[in-house]
Amino acid sequence: MAIRHDIAEKLFTLETKNTSYQMKVDDYGFLLHLYYGEKIEGNMDYLLTYYDRGFCGNPYDAGTDRTYSMDVLPQEFPCLGNGDYRTPALIIKNADGSYSCDLRYKSYRVFSGKYGIDGLPAVYADEDTVLDDENRVETLEIVMEDACTGIQAVLKYGVLPEIDVITRQVQIRNYGKTEVSIEKLQSACLDFVTGDYDLLTFHGRHAMERNLQREAVAHGCKKIGSMRGTSSHQYNPMMILAEPQTNEDAGNCYSMSFVYSGGFQGEVEQDQFNQTRMIMGLQEEMFSYPLDVQDVLDAPEVIMTFSKNGLNKLSQNLHTCIRNHICRGKYKNEIRPILVNSWEAAYFDFNGDTIYQLAKQAKEVGVEMVVMDDGWFGKRDDDYSGLGDWFVNEKKLGCSLGSLIEKINGIGMKFGIWVEPEMVSMDSDLYRAHPDWALTIPGRNPNRSRYQLVLDFSRKEVVDAIYNDICKVLDMGNIEYLKWDMNRSLADVYSAVTDNQGKVMYDYVMGLYDFLERLGNRYPDLLIEGCSGGGGRFDAGMLYYTPQIWCSDNTDAINRVEIQYGTSFGYPTSAMGAHVSAVPNHQTGRTVPLCTRSVVAMAGSFGYELDLGKLSEGEKEEIRQENRKFRKYASLIQQGIYYRLSNPQTDAVGAWEVVNEEKTEALVSVVMLEKYANAAVSYVKVKGLRADAQYLEENSGKRYSGSALMAIGLPLPVEPGEYLAYQMHFISL
Ligand code: GLA
């Protein structure tokens, strides 16, 4: 059983294969967090200590007991205003203007299966999977109530024993007699009474996303987040807490990943008694959500996992969770088609024939799909106009969309198309007809970014109108792939139809999800790739609707090694759109061998982003071979267990590996990042093999023992040439 409740001890214990999570209801009805980590037995209540601490107040019910303080005890869902002065999960502004909420235990229920959340993405577990008692997915709901106002917080826990994942979510219900306002809402909180920790976060910028930063947790509060209306290039909505000695292969570590695509915050605080609090949820700024009597508000979900075997295992738990319990649809398990995208091939400068020629050349080298990127609709020859006008520019294409698709399908190629549904250009028919559909503040000049404005997706009629326009396009022919882009951050957040502007950012994301859900239901076979100027909205929320996301607008293979390294901490390779592009690279001007560009792009959802017509016969032949190679390895890459073998931020090589479940096949990829004359040899240790098995490396024909490959590793070639890359394919004998 994943969830146990001991009524006499008032204990709740959640168990996965390798982890335990425990909390208890104390004598006053508070819900205290006791433990999360390696699997343990027994009541962890003994961890709680009680001393009379100065300036740490006591709940009224504690009477003369001055040793009981919310400011010291570990909380499951801390609220502002009840004597805990650390960062809270919930701030409520009551009808009388006070900020207080005193949540006490009311009831609980356990049910089989994973809870879902209305209108929000969430981890799911297939109902039809028959699992034994131990591995059955279960949900625990604990209802907490503030007796004074009637506000309830329903804490939900989803337990997926097999993959060591526990999810958390909270629903706030107003069962009181007056409207209240929610000013801060976090989905998960972990309090640690003991331990030193490092915090690992993933910062970045456009075209250089998800760079790992590791720092020691110290006194004070460290906060990451986004106020951009998207999860953002700047901070990914995921963070890891690791003991200082934890590395890739050993040591305790915990993570939180937010299943949400809008503004978020993650905080880690070390308090006055060296205790640590980790907390994640909705962005606080510009959030003020009115909750009417009988209304409910759902916070998005947080995925938590713990590993005592280091960061690689932690990431593997997240990869499995996202691949099997977040991603949906036809392409959840199916190998995605190799595509060529027109963006870096032609930018805005194309017509129907350009796309057809690209498809023809792609066909010749074994690519399966051509994607027509930005520029095919409205008046759109640059990025100053046209967004919102989702009608085909037949004059520019020189044909109808339907006939172009037919021609492309006619040569045995699939067709995909780019859209940016959340946006409007001021120079567009849509904006001229509905200026109030854009987020702008009356009386102020709006902040423009890429010269475009954001549509008010918190309004259903706006979502409906754009949905209909996009469906009309998708119905024009056999469109098998859609790239859903989003190319600016929200600003001027003001909706023309509400008095409560503090709800607009949340409602915007709900509108986006509603659109994507409807699209997925109407076109179940459509492969949707998420994108936001590359990886500006790379999160578990989007992956519920789009099984892959364009990882970065940066296609430089060497930068990509770092970007994909950082991304791999929280997300599987199948989620990362990665393309081979032209050299010199359009973002960095660097020239890298074609083989290296392929090796790097094969660590993701593989494709191309260049004018194939400009390649030499030799290069075309190389691409043919790379595509054959990719097909051979595709299911291993998409479904295999992923290991980081180096840290490209500091090491001379970038190295990673995928191994199949049975450990009979492994693909090791290496990119040489540094070049010296008369260089020392680099060695790479292989991971996750069977120590007692012999392996054949297919390309060299050499044999190795699994134990040797894992204990000491392989010497890498020292040969002339910059940024060389190698793939080694091991098969057990
Ligand atoms: C964004 C995307 C690119 C491309 C352009 C088109 O920047 O990340 O891949 O689609 O938009 O305008």
Q: State pLDDT tens for residues 144-162.
A: 999 999 999 999 999 999 9
- The stretch 539-551 carries a mean pLDDT of 98
Amino acid (1-letter code) at residue 339: L
The one-letter code for the residue type at 523 is: Y
Neighbours of 480 (CB within 10 A): 20
| Strand pairing report for 238-242 and 576-581 | unpaired
Residue with tokens 């790739």: 529
SS3 content of the chain, % helix, strand, coil (to 5): 25, 35, 45
Going from the Cα of 396 to the center of ligand 1, the distance in angstroms, rounded, reads 19
Task: State the CATH number of the domain containing residue 370.
Answer: 3.20.20.70
Q: Catalytic site residue 539?
A: yes
Tokens 């989620």 correspond to: 575
Tell me whether residue 212 is in a domain: yes
CA geometry: angle 275, 39, 165, nearest 5 deg: 85
Nearest CA to ligand 1 atom 1: 533
Residue 166 CB–ligand 1 contact under 6 Å: no
Residues 409 and 541 in one domain: yes
Single out the catalytic residue among 191, 373, 427, 539.
539
- Asked whether residue 20 falls in the same domain as residue 116, the answer is yes
In a domain, 97, yes or no: yes
Arithmetic mean of pLDDT, 660-675:
98
pLDDT digits (tens, 9 = 90+) for 617-631: 999 999 999 999 999
Q: In total, how many domains does the chain have?
A: 3
CATH number for the domain including 697?
Answer: 2.60.40.1180
Nearest ligand 1 atom to the CA of 534 is 8
Give the end of a domain, one of 578, 607, 635: 635
In a domain, 515, yes or no: no
- Best probe residue, ligand 1, of 343, 384, 387, 605 (max atoms within 8 Å of C-beta): 343
Nearest atom within ligand 1 for CA of residue 383: 12
Residue 447 falls within a domain, yes or no? Answer: no
Cβ 416 under 6 angstroms from ligand 1? no
Q: Ligand 1: which residue has its CA nearest to atom 7?
A: 533
Counting from 1 in the atom list of ligand 1, the atom nearest the Cα of 553 is: 8
Q: Do 349 and 320 reside in the same domain of the chain?
A: no
Rounded to the nearest integer, the mean pLDDT of the chain is 97
Structure-token pair, residue 405: 């698709």
Residues 316 and 400 in one domain: no
Dist CA 645 CA 315 (whole Å): 13
Local structure of 496: helix, strand or coil: coil
| Helix-then-strand count for the chain, H and E | 13, 38
Task: Categorize the per-residue pLDDT at 134 as very low, low, confident or very high, splitting at 50, 70 and 90.
Answer: confident
Q: Which CATH number do you get for residue 310?
A: 2.70.98.60
CB 170 within 8 A of CB 155: yes
Q: Is the CB of 373 under 6 A from ligand 1?
A: yes
The answer on 681 and 584 residing in a single domain is no
Per-residue pLDDT reduced to its tens digit, 42-101: 999 999 999 999 999 999 999 999 999 999 999 999 999 999 999 999 999 999 999 999
Ligand 1 mean position, distance from CA 586 (Å): 13
The answer on pLDDT for 130 being more than 70 is no
131 pLDDT band, cuts 50/70/90, is: low
Average pLDDT over residues 2-22: 95
CB of 538 shorter than 6 A to ligand 1: no
- Residue 262 confidence class, pLDDT cut points 50, 70, 90: very high
247 and 132 in a common domain? yes
Q: Report whether pLDDT(127) > 90.
A: no
Q: Would you state the pLDDT for residue 132? A: 73
Q: In this predicted model, what pLDDT tens digit does every residue of 102-124 receive, in sequence order?
A: 999 999 999 999 999 999 999 99
Output the pLDDT for position 367: 98
3-state secondary structure 285-341: CCCCEEECCCCEEECCEEEEEEECEHHHHHHHHHHHHHHHHCCCCHHHCCCCCCEEE
Q: Is 343 in the pocket of ligand 1 (CB under 6 A)?
A: yes
Tell me whether residue 513 is in a domain.
no
Domain that holds residue 698: 653-732
Residue with the two structure tokens 């990025």? 383
349 catalytic? Reply is: no
Three-point CA angle 60, 64, 65, nearest 5°: 90
The torsion angles phi and psi of 4, rounded to 5 degrees, stand at: -120, 140
Residue 70 sits in the same domain as residue 209:
yes
Structural domain includes residue 508: no
347: left (phi over 0), alpha (psi -120 to 50) or beta: left
188 and 276 assigned to the same domain: yes
One domain for residues 604 and 477 = yes
Is residue 312 predicted with pLDDT exceeding 90?
Answer: yes
Is the CB of 487 inside a 6 Å radius of any atom of ligand 1?
A: yes
Model pLDDT, residue 129? 57
**507 found inside a domain:** no
